[in-house]
Amino acid sequence: MTRRLWARLLLVGALLLGALTLPGPARADLQHPRQDFLRSSVSGLFLHWGQRTAPSHTSCSGWETDVTNGGWNADYWVTEAQKLHAQYLVLATFHSRLGYARPWPSKVPGSCATKRDFLGELIAAAKAKGLKTILYMTDDPQWHAEGGNEWLNSKAYSDYKGRTVDLHTRDGFGEYSYDLFFEVMDRYPELGGFWIDNDNAYWERNNLYAKVYERRPNYTISNNNEDTPIMDMISNEQKTGMSPAYDYPQAVYTAAPRLIEADFKLPSSGSWWYTGSDSSVDRKLTLGRLITNAGSSVKALMAETAMLNGRFPSNQASFNNFADGYLDQIWESLNGTEGGGYLHGGLAPGFWNDGAHGVTTISRTDPGKHYIHVLTPPSTSTLRLRDNGYRVTGVTNLRTGAPIAYSQGGGTLSLTGLGGWDAYDTVFKVTTTGGREGIIPVSSYTMSASASASGHGAAAAADGDYRTYWDSNKTTPVSLRFDLGSAKRVQYLGVNQREDSVSYARSGTEQSARIRDYRVYVSSDGANWGSPVKSGSLPSRRGVAVIGIPATTARHVRLEVVNTHAASSDSTRYKRLRMDEAWIGTAYAGGGTPPAPNRYEAESGTYSAGSTVDSDHAGYSGTGFVNTANEAGAYVEWSVSSTAARSAAVTLRYANGGTTDRPMDVSVNGSAVQAGRSFGPTGAWTTWTGSTLTVPLTAGANTIRVTATSAGGAPNLDHLDVEP
């Protein structure tokens, strides 16, 4: 199976939610009710079973006789799927390397077809247990003479069609398999759909996929390795190579909410089908893959190699029996959940402290219910991870119900006193108050950017819709700006980057498109930004990226992305930046209401000669406001105490009922912080607003002075708020 160009992925974001229109080329819905069973599934059982599984048969009738006499029973495979807690089966018999056998009585000649209806039996057995069956279909005739036997009969098919068709060609085989799609659709209305190994130009020219949806609107179509937008799901072969080896989602470059599946072998070495061996099953790797996929909302398709008599080799059977009981204990953390830390919310997954690694899941129906899956434990007795804005109310060991000691602060959840780690997956159940707290509602602010691709403007990064995203149009440096409407407390930025690239440099041409170096600025007016309040680098990791800044109060926030992780050798992802959602946090979870600032009334400060304390314009705090003399040099000064040397956000509340700016210099302890800072008109003397900037404070007493620089003097000054 070969990987095709995946550039078609770019089309996925444009998929419409409307109904499919025929005739003519069409695209599938990105989300559709027919996909519900796949979206709600955790995993499937992939059955590679055909004429060429050991011992190989060249006679179709001989293969069928041996399978039947061996006691093949559809209920057995369904039972094994249930032990794995799978919700669907994929039957891969019409497989190029397995002889192109068809496990149903076919009227279309051209390759082996059984007289016994194995496919129909499996569909019925699966339906009886609440599972669905999906049929594997190949597009590739290149293995027609594999093993020294000719598996395709062009003459028989040509006689059937009344003209010459060469099944050894891609187009001829495309026509043959096209006919088989329709035969299956006519015969099996309760089939779950088709799992297709790549694509065929004949199918595309004849609009096959749209016709499948038209004829069988309940069918889903999955495609292997090639992200064809009309299909419901993209599946990828799950191989090792990343670290840890089970963390395949590091290598997934198809962005959710596209349905994504990972198919992997049990055992992990050897062929995808039974070759006569009884290889061992790596339980840690297999469970790690299953659980990590669930933690990324990726469906795990586990390929087991059925023997000739329809049963599994002993090592695979033993694993299935083990998995049955093992998964029972933690099933609530996998079933009915989504992967945490990305589109659906949840705690941070991935690389934690002291070598720990794992994933998180979040309940689909209860946003307050979370699970932490520790697949690789830390080397210490403490586990720390980002809380992503959820205030935690309790933590227990899912298997034992034992309470776990925890603390929360600064955006981090810490579990302490841990030990007795499970060999494969220690699961902690975390209860929270529900949604993220301390987040400024996206409806209350507007977004802009210094660069955007057509159809992917900055507003998409704050629309609450994970089907849309902002695209920087391959521009770096690039800025994403938040206008909060009024001055608000700002503690951190949360960023959901689009997960459509690998999260590590897999090769020179397959690299991460995530943010590397960044700078954060704040401003009161959106024009004067000053120096960055935070600069740093982000690791190339999946899930929410949190950028903490010194707590400040500001109306405007600007995230400047200096560069991304992809090198210029990856022309597809070099300088590419896409963002699903971004938001502002006013305070970290667990701290309750953000502490009130320390307020210093203007009338209690020191002010220049000619200034008066007035109270004739409503809306002020305290006993009044300071109205300075209308002259340059007029000032107000406050004495401010700080417990430590720090940078602190200060907000000056003022009113300017005039029509011109009344700029002021800002100084701290006699040193200029900002010259000629703008204090523009507010519309009326009774309209008060705040202007926020970050200033340096020393431990102990500090003086903060604002001094008018124009003949109009200072605006009316109400108070100074200093971040505690």
Alpha carbon distance 501, 254 (integer Å): 7
3-state class of 623 per DSSP? Answer: coil
Cα dihedral 175, 179, 180, 185 in deg (nearest 10): 140
Alpha carbon distance 434, 156 (integer Å): 64
Residue where the block lists tokens 């015969």: 187
Which pLDDT band, with edges at 50, 70 and 90, does 591 fall under? low
Averaged pLDDT for residues 426-444 = 93
Averaged pLDDT for residues 442-466 = 94
In the chain the domains, ranked by start, together with CATH numbers, are: 43-333 (3.20.20.80), 337-432 (2.60.40.1180), 442-585 (2.60.120.260), 598-722 (2.60.120.260)
Report the pLDDT value the prediction gives residue 239, as an integer from 0 to 100: 81
Report pLDDT digits (tens) over 70-109.
888 999 999 999 999 999 999 999 999 999 999 999 999 9
Look at residue 10 and tell me whether its pLDDT is greater than 80: no
Report the pLDDT value the prediction gives residue 3, as an integer from 0 to 100: 31
3-state class of 559 per DSSP? Answer: strand
Which pLDDT band, with edges at 50, 70 and 90, does 9 fall under? very low
665, containing H or E segment:
strand 664-668
Alpha carbon distance 520, 557 (integer Å): 7
Largest CA distance in the chain: 109
| CA 338 to chain centroid | 10
pLDDT higher at 13 or 455: 455
Report pLDDT digits (tens) over 176-220.
999 999 999 999 999 999 999 988 999 999 999 999 999 999 999
| CA 107 to chain centroid | 45
Report the pLDDT value the prediction gives residue 27, as an integer from 0 to 100: 58
Which pLDDT band, with edges at 50, 70 and 90, does 723 fall under? confident
Look at residue 21 and tell me whether its pLDDT is greater than 60: no
| Of 82, 384, 367, 20, residue with least CA distance to 221 | 20
Residue where the block lists tokens 């001094």: 707
Alpha carbon distance 224, 169 (integer Å): 20
Give the global pTM.
0.80
pLDDT higher at 430 or 308: 430
Report the pLDDT value the prediction gives residue 592, as an integer from 0 to 100: 47
Report the pLDDT value the prediction gives residue 269, as an integer from 0 to 100: 87
Strands 671-677, 635-642: parallel, antiparallel or unpaired by DSSP? unpaired
Report pLDDT digits (tens) over 537-573.
898 999 999 999 989 999 999 999 999 999 999 999 9
Beta-sheet strands, E only, within 498-607: 517-523, 534-537, 545-561, 578-585, 598-601, 606-607
Look at residue 296 and tell me whether its pLDDT is greater than 50: yes
Look at residue 13 and tell me whether its pLDDT is greater than 70: no
Report the pLDDT value the prediction gives residue 564, as an integer from 0 to 100: 96
pLDDT higher at 112 or 643: 112
| Percentage of the residues of the chain whose pLDDT score is greater than 90 | 81
Look at residue 22 and tell me whether its pLDDT is greater than 50: no
Averaged pLDDT for residues 571-579 = 97
Long-range contacts of 65-73 (CB under 8 A, 24+ apart): 66/308, 66/309, 67/118, 67/308, 67/309, 67/310, 68/116, 70/308, 70/309, 70/310, 71/309, 71/310, 72/118, 72/309, 72/310, 73/310
Report pLDDT digits (tens) over 666-703.
999 999 988 999 898 988 999 888 887 778 899 899 99
Q: What is the mean pLDDT of the chain?
A: 92
